[in-house]
Amino acid sequence: MADSRGVAGARFRERRIGARDGLDLYVRDYGDPLADGVPMLCLAGLTRNSKDFHTLASRVATHRRVICPDYRGRGESPHDPNWRNYRPEAILDDIFQVLTACNAHPVVVCGVSYGGLMAMALGALAPTLLAGVILNDVGPELDPNGSRRIMAYIGRDRPQPDWPSAIAETKRTLPTLALPDDDAWRRFTEATYRLGTDGQLHFDWDVSLAKALSQPENTPDLWPLYRTLQNLPLLVLRGGLSDVLSEQTLARMATEKPDLLQLTIPEVGHVPSFEHPVVERAIDEFLTRVDA
């Protein structure tokens, strides 16, 4: 287990945890495992990785442990030679293996987009595991426009010659991401690309994972999964320009769970940044409620 520093010198432990099939999953482990606050499990977006949570994890790890895994085929976790293992069922099993190895139970889950869907699935499979959930720009119904955009983006590598080009491409591709400053865009881009052996920058995920999510099948009804969170503290963040979580879906979520905490950030698309001051305050207040 290595000890590393990220932005601003914040420390985290780097761990390798074996999945059930032997693949080594990379995990960033922040904070004191014996801290009083309920541990946080951070689940990234479909192609994203633990780097996306560094600023958030560094800030909240003063009071709690924060566990940030890289899904298989993303970030520092190795690619799977069988793309069928990128199915959500396998990812959920990996999450269980990580939590078992970390001896973390219960946890408050912070799920971004796809990670939020995993959080709802955890509510159905292991309800006693959850102490609270934060859903970042996702719900039990997905706007088909956003789903099509994401699937068109993730399945083909777009190599870039250098970091300025990669940053420019990220801004062009995600114009409504609305990150707060150039440093944030740089960090986001550095979590999107990695340097290849050919000297070019490539997406930091296995593009074949798109195959696992494009197989013809009936789209499951996710509302029963959402209802498993009925008795938990739940915070939903939504970008006002989101093409994934619609106003109508969020309104229905609030109708079905009247004590739902929600925050819409105007002029922001999919997904709101954890570095936005309003988002930081909402998360801090939510975690205080979970710990109470």
Span 69-120, pLDDT tens digits = 999 999 999 999 999 999 999 999 999 999 999 999 999 999 999 999 999 9
E strand spans, 31-160: 40-43, 66-69, 107-112, 130-136
Distance CA 147, CA 74 (A): 19
Query: How high does pLDDT run on average in the chain?
Result: 93
* Percent with pLDDT over 90 in the chain: 88
**pLDDT at residue 288 greater than cutoff 70:** yes
Q: How many domains does the chain have?
A: 1
pLDDT score, position 161: 97
Provide the residue count of the chain.
Answer: 292
Q: Smallest Cα–Cα separation from 6: which of 26, 21, 28?
A: 28
pLDDT score, position 220: 85
What is the separation of C-alpha 165 from the centre of its chain, rounded to a whole number of angstroms?
25
pLDDT score, position 292: 87
pLDDT score, position 52: 96
* Domain interval for residue 194: 2-291
Report which secondary-structure segment, H or E, holds 202: strand 201-203
Place 213 in a pLDDT band, splitting at 50, 70 and 90.
confident
pLDDT score, position 233: 97
List pLDDT tens digits, range 166-192: 999 999 999 999 888 999 999 999 999
CATH number at residue 95: 3.40.50.1820
pLDDT score, position 180: 87
Strands ordered across the beta sheet of 40-43: 2-5, 11-18, 24-30, 66-69, 40-43, 107-112, 130-136, 234-239, 261-265
Distance CA 10, CA 192 (A): 20
- Residue keyed to tokens 């769970």: 257
pLDDT score, position 1: 56
